[in-house]
Amino acid sequence: MTDSTDHHHEQVDTTVAERDDWARRRRKGIPTGENLLVIACMDERIPVEKALGLELGDAQIFRNAGGKVTDDVIRSAALTTNFFDTDEIIVINHTDCGMMSAANEDVREGLEAQVGDLDSATLDPSLPELSIGDADLLDWVKMTDDIDEACAAQVEYLRQSEFIPDDVTVSGYVYEVESGHLREPNGRIAEEISERQA
Amino acid sequence: MTDSTDHHHEQVDTTVAERDDWARRRRKGIPTGENLLVIACMDERIPVEKALGLELGDAQIFRNAGGKVTDDVIRSAALTTNFFDTDEIIVINHTDCGMMSAANEDVREGLEAQVGDLDSATLDPSLPELSIGDADLLDWVKMTDDIDEACAAQVEYLRQSEFIPDDVTVSGYVYEVESGHLREPNGRIAEEISERQA
Amino acid sequence: MTDSTDHHHEQVDTTVAERDDWARRRRKGIPTGENLLVIACMDERIPVEKALGLELGDAQIFRNAGGKVTDDVIRSAALTTNFFDTDEIIVINHTDCGMMSAANEDVREGLEAQVGDLDSATLDPSLPELSIGDADLLDWVKMTDDIDEACAAQVEYLRQSEFIPDDVTVSGYVYEVESGHLREPNGRIAEEISERQA
Amino acid sequence: MTDSTDHHHEQVDTTVAERDDWARRRRKGIPTGENLLVIACMDERIPVEKALGLELGDAQIFRNAGGKVTDDVIRSAALTTNFFDTDEIIVINHTDCGMMSAANEDVREGLEAQVGDLDSATLDPSLPELSIGDADLLDWVKMTDDIDEACAAQVEYLRQSEFIPDDVTVSGYVYEVESGHLREPNGRIAEEISERQA
Amino acid sequence: MTDSTDHHHEQVDTTVAERDDWARRRRKGIPTGENLLVIACMDERIPVEKALGLELGDAQIFRNAGGKVTDDVIRSAALTTNFFDTDEIIVINHTDCGMMSAANEDVREGLEAQVGDLDSATLDPSLPELSIGDADLLDWVKMTDDIDEACAAQVEYLRQSEFIPDDVTVSGYVYEVESGHLREPNGRIAEEISERQA
Amino acid sequence: MTDSTDHHHEQVDTTVAERDDWARRRRKGIPTGENLLVIACMDERIPVEKALGLELGDAQIFRNAGGKVTDDVIRSAALTTNFFDTDEIIVINHTDCGMMSAANEDVREGLEAQVGDLDSATLDPSLPELSIGDADLLDWVKMTDDIDEACAAQVEYLRQSEFIPDDVTVSGYVYEVESGHLREPNGRIAEEISERQA
Amino acid sequence: MTDSTDHHHEQVDTTVAERDDWARRRRKGIPTGENLLVIACMDERIPVEKALGLELGDAQIFRNAGGKVTDDVIRSAALTTNFFDTDEIIVINHTDCGMMSAANEDVREGLEAQVGDLDSATLDPSLPELSIGDADLLDWVKMTDDIDEACAAQVEYLRQSEFIPDDVTVSGYVYEVESGHLREPNGRIAEEISERQA
Amino acid sequence: MTDSTDHHHEQVDTTVAERDDWARRRRKGIPTGENLLVIACMDERIPVEKALGLELGDAQIFRNAGGKVTDDVIRSAALTTNFFDTDEIIVINHTDCGMMSAANEDVREGLEAQVGDLDSATLDPSLPELSIGDADLLDWVKMTDDIDEACAAQVEYLRQSEFIPDDVTVSGYVYEVESGHLREPNGRIAEEISERQA
């Protein structure tokens, strides 16, 4: 029971102010609940917040093909770590990733069939000046050989980048689509526990 | 009641096969439930599947700072439209986006404070050859002036890209963080319905 | 477990007495849980208690076309503030109000089509003496031009009325039907957060 | 499963359009779900929609002290029946109404203590021209003697008013706060079913 | 987590013992949870435990036509108060009782149509010696004139009976089938709160 | 969605009429949902409706010490079968009944300690003429030797009574408090299924 | 709210470690939550964990035809008590066990119809050396005469076995399929509570 | 609503009969719902019914250390397939089984520490004649090298046994404790989907 000497509009004012904070969160420079940015794959099977035990509002979530570090990851991470108090990055790669489903040459052939000459193609239609110089287009496509090695590598790329402050913590996990759980890179146990202990 | 002339292992076999399809979905080239790729902002307040009325497994979800078309968007969209039967792209931008929270020069100053000389900075640590030539680094950062115009522009960039087949459908919506609902670009009604109809 | 030395009829007596208090609340002069009167529009989309975070029994709720201060509001507020300990009034106006949906002349024409000569019409069939003298019937209809200004004005009318004790607190909010939330008058943010910060 | 030949944006477009209709309902002249206006008392114990088996959006709800027909009721009913397709009015009065809790002279004394000379008081601060001529202020206050007779009388006042089209249906019920149910006026059964049938 | 030094069978033993107490409750002389006997009508609309705020196991419940004190009530109450520690009796009568639905002569005619000569009829087929001497059979049928007076009378009959110890508490309530709530005898409020306070 | 050509008050009228039927059920002579009377013991462990798969309103429920046929059972059954269309009676006796917990002489001694001379005691304080002639008071108390035999006997007493029409169906079950289920009299299986089949 | 000075990956690491413990529980030698082995019948009606008030993970559960001590029980119990810290064994036998449903000779005839000469049959296809010497095959089949005696006997066999450490606690219960509850061996009460107490 | 010409006791009789069938299921020779026997490990992490999509009553469940075929499995399977209409057997082995957690010699040493001379130990205290002749005790213990091979082998042992009719269907699955799902033996996919497709 509310104390009858209090007025209800004070409670309403508080609620209205909290909603205003939510709606103008970026404008007011309010960081995420966990000061956290997650980098994950765009695969439709990955429930990112649930896998990490997060609620809506807890973390910013960058997702692209493969959960790979690209210039767009660096751009996005640079903005949130330098302007919005984000101080932790978690990378999530996953088993059965589409980036492991084809050989480089098959990918090259498929893209050429669509684009024609890959060397002259515009990589970013909103920034035509962007180019990869003499690098192979497949280096830009970033296919994966081994998901555990790939996960460890993305963590290293982020730790190296000069756009990201040194005190930002970077970690990486592999999400197993077959079990619905996270593991440490190189922590896969299925093989091991099906055979007699050495 | 199961017909006692059937054997239960047939039901178990079906369940085991369905799980196997889920776990090897990319390897088997199974497309998403909606043949859909969503491009959205990495802002922590955007419940992407819920806003679109989707379930886990229905769509691939690319998210970056601002929900802007970048070379990473083109890379990711090229892979899924050319190799995984995706035939629709939906772009979601949102009000109160962090990309509208600062002037270009403030962003430049902030990044220089972290990086030093922006012209010589490595944009992609896993692909050092990537550069933007004579373009201004702020063109690469892609700040936003008006969210409705920005949304319409991203749709156009995707429609133009030679990496994306012509028969892919592209649409765009603005997610209002103040109401929790989607609207068409330039469909904002809040101003209008607060005053007498002309 | 009830102490076996107590008799159950004592618990039943308490329950019976509480229900009696509820059923004879007005007769016993029991005020509302919040000592609160809400003035709101009769629009079917306004969940008054829910919007204010109230439970049934917490507040008396006056509703009319537009949530405007009329002689009926003064009558009703005078009774509850002078006889039932109500010491707070909250006014809720809302966006997309029907009172903003037509020009004064269209309303006049519509009513004349129904009533005939408006000057000789009976305004209150249970009190035929009630009249508005030389005032225009449209002043009695009380259409709205701007919902934020209208909300602030209703608060002022209530503060001025000699029928309402000076120590009654009066506040006003705008309910946005597009978002389902309250805001302060002139606190609309939708326009602002769709464009780059100045 | 959605047919993969359909595009998801068509479903989203439908949802967006439905919300737009809700938000601009008055502006578009959309009537309530039941074409219904309810007139009820402002007493805090009356769950109007629930008592009538209605959902939010089904009916407009006018509430004042006593659920009495006033000029404000006529104003509000005139607008909705002539401009928004409302074709039914239900009046709900209730037992233990505050309007039955005091004698006329006690009310007169209480108001004089607050206002001073009642004859010169401004009844509507936003329309000072409104007056009740030679009528007694208590006629304007509209206290109640018998809730069943009062309910039947309000129905008659509405049926008589020239502001309300003849084809509008008007009904009345008494809400029993002691039982939480509606009854027909003069349908009270408590006395009857406690004694031997004649 | 159970302390691993404890053995689980100790928990199982406790559960097994509790169930044994429940199953042999009468044999072990365990009283009801409230030491309470309720006397109520057999009418199908009376949720006896719920109306009194009781759980299964809290009270013994005697029910007959009308909730009237008969020799069977005395027999049953004598057994539980003298042998099972019951120290409280609550009588519940209810509005719209079938015992008020017909005049004595109509009941007499109806029974004669079934039985023939009522004076020679066997009242208890398992105890043919039971008779009512010169009393009228209608005195044995125990029809009701006024439910509030009847309730108060049953309380008195129980208080008088020499079979029931003096320290047993006896109370009575009327259950209103129209509202679903209990009231004190002569506490009916429906009439009162529908009219102006004297 | 209600057809807008219907008026809502018709739905309300139907609801009001249904509640009126419930509240005046006895007065209107409406029988129970199952035309059923249950005779059960007053023991606190018997959830009568649940044990029989019934809902509130389905059956009248007579309960006394032991679920024995007494003159009160005959009185109550006579009224409902002759005046309220009841055409079925179910008797429920139960294991661990208090009526099996003591020897006749122990009961006699206990009652004498309370009452004094049992022969001169008033059995029904509201009908002092009621007597059992030369019968032993223990015949009136109706202790039980074997619950299965007792159940079968009560069914027979009811079938014999001249007060109950011949076309009324009478059945009997034993409720096992140890298992919470009904069984046919003499249908106890616990002993049998603990030993090797002959 | 997580303290923003903590990093979220620490919470994720804990979750990953807990799952790893679950998945490698045997490999790491982690005992059950209760250090408990249950021996029960394979009958489909026995909800072993639920009957004992256990959760998944609390106990190892051995089940065979009849819940009898066999060499397989000894093998299994020897492994868990000597290698996995199990220090308690509970045996559950049940009423209506299939092992009581036929006479020894009927079982012998049935098996001979399937196998032919029982004396030369291979009892364990993975260990052909296993034999019962001169014992009767029916001694190996282990039919039951009385479920309470059988339960007590299994407890004794386990207490005697040299494969099981002396400090292991062994208890036994009978599960009644007719009531869904456990009882102590020879604790059946159904017969007793249906008749008058001696 | 029950047809008033039916009597409720018929419904009760049906319910009573169904419960009787459940309680005497073995005595009446009623088979399981699926005519199914499951052979599984006694590990506390295996929710056998849930893993197979079964309800209580659908299947008999044999569980021992390792889910290995022993003479007890043959005994139990022989009884249910020859006497209770069971026509299907499913074997479930699982990853991280305790039977893979130690080398044979470690097991031998551990058992000798408890038992002393293994050759003279009594394997079945209720059937001392049971022996394994010249076989190694470790052959009786049945440790596992590879869970997939072990699962396939158990299926073969059951298919070979002369105690089990030829028309009984036998299948086997591996339950992965790390994912909570079943797979076909040799169907493990974790390794494969972490690396680039050949």
Query: Range(s) for CATH 3.40.1050.10 in chain B?
Result: 31-101+143-198
- Minimum mean pLDDT range among A21-25, D57-61, E4-8, E133-137: E4-8
Asked whether the ipTM of the predicted complex exceeds the cut of 0.85, the reply is yes
Whole-number pLDDT of residue G134? 96
Whole-number pLDDT of residue H2? 43
3-state secondary structure D58-99: CEEEEEEHHHCCCHHHHHHHHHHHHHCCCCEEEEEEECCCHH
- Rounded mean pLDDT of D163-173? 98
Query: Contact B4/H31, CB-based, under 8 Å?
Result: yes
Query: Contact H9/F53, CB-based, under 8 Å?
Result: no
Query: Range(s) for CATH 3.40.1050.10 in chain H?
Result: 31-101+143-187
Residue B161 near residue B82, CB atoms below 8 Å: no
Query: Contact D53/F7, CB-based, under 8 Å?
Result: no
- Rounded mean pLDDT of E55-71? 98
- Rounded mean pLDDT of A44-52? 98
- Residue A95 contacts H, CB cutoff 8 Å: yes
Write out chain A residues lying below 8 Å of H46, CB-based: none
- Minimum mean pLDDT range among F107-121, F181-195, G36-50: F181-195
Res H189 pLDDT > 90: no
Instruction: Tell me the per-residue pLDDT of E134-173, one tens digit each, with 9 for 90 and over.
Output: 999 999 999 999 999 999 999 999 999 999 999 999 999 9
Whole-number pLDDT of residue F173? 98
Q: Which amino acid is present at F41?
A: C
Name the average pLDDT for chain B.
95
Whole-number pLDDT of residue H109? 97
Positions in chain C whose pLDDT score sits under 70: 1-5, 198
Asked if residue B97 belongs to a known ligand binding site, the reply is yes
Per-residue pLDDT band for D197 (boundaries 50, 70, 90) equals: confident
Instruction: Tell me the per-residue pLDDT of H19-37, one tens digit each, with 9 for 90 and over.
Output: 999 999 999 999 999 999 9
Exposed, middle or buried: residue F22 (CB in 10 Å: 0-12, 13-18, 19+)? middle
- Contacts of residue E10, Cβ cutoff 8 Å, sequence gap at least 6: none
Of B1, B9, B16, the CB nearest to H88: B9
Q: Which two tokens stand for residue D170?
A: 């008007």
Whole-number pLDDT of residue F189? 86
Q: How many CB atoms lie within 10 A of CB H127?
A: 21
- Residue G115 contacts H, CB cutoff 8 Å: yes
Cα atoms in the Cβ-side hemisphere of radius 13 Å centred on B96: 24
Single out the residue of B69, G194, H109 nearest to residue F174, CA to CA: G194
Per-residue pLDDT band for B197 (boundaries 50, 70, 90) equals: confident
Mutate to test the interface with C, among A12, A14, A28, A30 (most CBs of C within 10 A): A12
Res E192 pLDDT > 90: no
- Rounded mean pLDDT of G131-145? 97
- Residue B34 contacts D, CB cutoff 8 Å: yes
Name the average pLDDT for chain H.
95
Instruction: Tell me the per-residue pLDDT of G41-76, one tens digit each, with 9 for 90 and over.
Output: 999 999 999 999 999 999 999 999 999 999 999 999
Single out the residue of B104, B94, B91, B110 nearest to residue B143, CA to CA: B104
Query: Contact B23/A135, CB-based, under 8 Å?
Result: no
Query: Contact D144/E103, CB-based, under 8 Å?
Result: no
Per-residue pLDDT band for B198 (boundaries 50, 70, 90) equals: low
Name the average pLDDT for chain D.
95
User: Domain C34-100+144-198: what homologous superfamily?
Assistant: Carbonic anhydrase (3.40.1050.10)
Whole-number pLDDT of residue H190? 83
Name the average pLDDT for chain G.
95
Whole-number pLDDT of residue H191? 80
- Residue B184 contacts D, CB cutoff 8 Å: yes
F164-168 contacts: CB < 8 A, separation 24 or more?
F164/E114, F164/F74, F164/F77, F164/F78, F164/F81, F164/F89, F165/E114, F165/F81, F165/F82, F165/F87, F167/F87, F168/F81, F168/F86, F168/F87, F168/F88, F168/F89
What is the rounded end-to-end Cα distance, in angstroms, of chain B? 67
Q: Which amino acid is present at A146?
A: D
Q: Which amino acid is present at C39?
A: I
Query: Range(s) for CATH 3.40.1050.10 in chain A?
Result: 35-99+147-198
Instruction: Tell me the per-residue pLDDT of D3-61, one tens digit each, with 9 for 90 and over.
Output: 455 899 999 999 999 999 999 999 999 999 999 999 999 999 999 999 999 999 999 99
Q: Which amino acid is present at C168?
A: V
- Rounded mean pLDDT of B33-57? 97
Whole-number pLDDT of residue B5? 59
Of F8, F23, F27, the CB nearest to D36: F8
Write out chain A residues lying below 8 Å of C50, CB-based: none
Domain at E31-102+143-194, CATH from 3.30.70.260, 3.40.1050.10, 3.40.50.880, 3.40.50.720: 3.40.1050.10
Whole-number pLDDT of residue C2? 44
What is the interface size between B and C, counted as CB pairs within 8 Å? 77
Whole-number pLDDT of residue A2? 43
Whole-number pLDDT of residue A5? 58
Single out the residue of H15, H26, E15, F190 nearest to residue G176, CA to CA: F190
Fold of G31-101+143-198: Beta-carbonic Anhydrase; Chain A (3.40.1050)
- Residue D151 contacts F, CB cutoff 8 Å: no
Single out the residue of F109, F75, F157 nearest to residue E127, CA to CA: F157
Write out chain B residues lying below 8 Å of H36, CB-based: 8
- Contacts of residue B11, Cβ cutoff 8 Å, sequence gap at least 6: B2, H53
Domain at F31-101+143-187, CATH from 1.10.275.10, 3.30.1370.160, 3.40.1050.10, 3.10.310.10: 3.40.1050.10
Name the average pLDDT for chain F.
95
Res E2 pLDDT > 70: no
Of H103, H146, H176, the CB nearest to A190: H176
Q: Which two tokens stand for residue C8?
A: 């159950």
CA angle B100, B98, B69 (to 5 degrees): 80
Of G144, G147, G194, the CB nearest to F188: G194
- Contacts of residue D71, Cβ cutoff 8 Å, sequence gap at least 6: C70, C71, C72, C123, C124, C127, C130, C140, D130
Single out the residue of E177, A130, H65, F147 nearest to residue G163, CA to CA: H65
Whole-number pLDDT of residue C192? 86
CA angle G86, G89, G91 (to 5 degrees): 155
Architecture of domain A35-99+147-198: 3-Layer(aba) Sandwich (3.40)
Write out chain G residues lying below 8 Å of F188, CB-based: 190-191, 194
Whole-number pLDDT of residue F198? 62
Query: Contact A194/H148, CB-based, under 8 Å?
Result: yes
C-alpha distance from residue E38 to each of E173, F44, F111, H32 (Å)? 11, 10, 21, 46
Torsion on CA atoms G180, G181, G186, G190, rounded to nearest 10: -60
Residue C32 near residue C8, CB atoms below 8 Å: no
Query: Contact A11/C53, CB-based, under 8 Å?
Result: yes
Give the percent of chain D with pLDDT over 90.
Answer: 92
C-alpha distance from residue A78 to each of A49, A84, B136, E41 (Å)? 22, 10, 16, 78
Query: Range(s) for CATH 3.40.1050.10 in chain C?
Result: 34-100+144-198
Looking at the DSSP bridge assignments, the partners of residue H183 are H174
User: Domain D33-94+146-198: what homologous superfamily?
Assistant: Carbonic anhydrase (3.40.1050.10)
Write out chain A residues lying below 8 Å of H144, CB-based: 196
Res F1 pLDDT > 90: no
